[in-house]
Amino acid sequence: MNSEHYPILINGELVNTDKVIKVINPSTEEVFASCSKATEKHLDEAVKAAQKAQKIWGESDIAIRQKLLNEIAEKISENSENLARLLTLEQGKPLDFARGEIEFAVMFCKYFASQKLKNKSLKEDASSIVELHRKPLGVVAAIAPWNFPLLIAVYKTAPALLAGNALILKPAPTTPLSTCMFGQIIREIIPKGLVNILTDENELGPMITSHPGINKISFTGSTETGKKVAESGGPSLKRLTLELGGNDAAIVLEDAVPSKIAEDIFNSAMANTGQVCAAIKRLYVHHSVYEEMCSALKDQADKAIIGDGFKQGINFGPLQNKKQYEKVINLIKEAKEKGKVISGGEFSENPGFFIPITIIRDIEDGISLVDEEQFGPVLPIIKYSELEEVIEKANGSSYGLGGSVWGEDIDFATQIAKRLQAGSVWVNQHAAIGPDIPLSGAKESGIGVEWGEEGLNEFSQIQVVNVKK
């Protein structure tokens, strides 16, 4: 780690400001570092620098852009251990999982470095030639959340740059440091002003989304905040990509074998201490295998080890911040009155935002834990008998990010999965993702696409060139 204080990045310069943000380690609840805090003045300076840089970058050859992304990936790799340790300090995840996040960031960066924006010939005849071209949008603002702060920052930066845009990158107020370090390690290799990193305590959000010099917002976060982003950007008709919340349902069919799938379901629900937008949030299990499924998941939860991410053998860290910690505790307290806790459910008074892995059975729709996105290490298990009824319940949410179906008859399970109202559905797995697989939410889980060719295209403007012969 370079220091205990991290500057912001504007126009290629590391800038220390008059105000600072104190960053808390969620495992100890103690301040361990700080970063500079940006103001509206800094935002205006960053946008001006980005506009200037983009005019040149937008005319650059695709090979130059690809080369830069590969160089960024190399810089991340060279600094992977420092980045991972800082990520564990500010986010709380176990160090091995933080290392995995860095590896994923490198993978996403290299994937987009291998891509190209694809122009198309739409028509050519005796009278005309019609072509579809993709042009840069200009300045893109990328707003990242606190669950995967570095990965999300990188997987927004890479396609934005490949498409010829400049970038304003704003991390979450509780996890700004790994993004600040990212800025430090790439500033020597990127053109001045092409990537700017601004930190805040949520004051800058409305200024960014309404700024006349910003052409697109790429936002990952809660549905509630996403609606505000859309409203703020509406008057200027900014291009939007909103990757929002989820309340993913998983359906276990009557032919499923719980002993075969329990570990995968558990990991799909509890990864990153449940702080994954596309995690399994509610599990519907056929009555014929309900008891066995509950027992198998209890076994998985009982052996999970929660603690400080720097300690050996830790499987799960704390929740990232106090607000989320208190929300999940309240959800569990309400659910305990309606259902039966078979693992976890108790809370310690010790420092740190730790919640034990909690499994609650004999619970129904209509309870907050089932109806809302918990974003924490607790899973409700709901019994069902009729397939049509459970499909209706799975689709009854205002969310539609992902869903999964689990069973031995893969063809039948696939038919059921296709009936789920979600942007991504999986069979006998959940949240199986990659940079080459588009991610798009249905309903209130988002607008637009991340990743893959479709996600890259989101960072470009279509221009149709129609030539009369």
65 sits in which H/E element = helix 62-78
Phi, psi at 438, each rounded to 5°: -60, 145
- Please say whether the beta carbons of 137 and 163 come within 8 A: yes
Catalytic residue among 109, 277, 294, 373: 277
Distance (Å, whole) CA 73 – CA 110: 6
Local structure of residue 234 (DSSP, 8 states): G
- The span from the CA of 378 to the CA of 191, in Å, is 45
Q: Which residues pair with 135 in a beta bridge?
A: 461
Structure tokens at 32: 């361990």
Give the Cα separation of 83 and 201 in Å (integer): 22
- Which one is catalytic: 45, 90, 243, 444? 243
**CA separation for the pair 437, 431 (Å, rounded):** 11
Catalytic residue check, 203: no
Look-up: residue for tokens 């892995």? Answer: 357
HEC readout, the chain: CCCCEECEEECCEEECCCCEEEEEECCCCEEEEEEECCCHHHHHHHHHHHHHHHHHHCCCCHHHHHHHHHHHHHHHHHCHHHHHHHHHHHHCCCHHHHHHHHHHHHHHHHHHHCCCCCCEEEEECCCEEEEEEEEECCEEEEECCCCCHHHHHHHHHHHHHHCCCEEEEECCCCCCHHHHHHHHHHCCCCCCCCEEECCCCCCCHHHHHHCCCCCEEEEECCHHHHHHHHHHHHHHCCEEEEECCCCEEEEECCCCCHHHHHHHHHHHHHHHHHCCCCCEEEEEEEHHHHHHHHHHHHHHHHCCCECCCCCCCCCECCCCCHHHHHHHHHHHHHHHHHCEEEECCCCCCCCCCCCCCEEEECCCCCCHHHHCCCCCCEEEEEEECCHHHHHHHHCCCCEECEEEEECCCHHHHHHHHCCCCCCEEEECCCCCCCCCCCECCEECCEECCECHHHHHHCCEEEEEEEEEC
- Which residues are part of the catalytic machinery? 243, 277
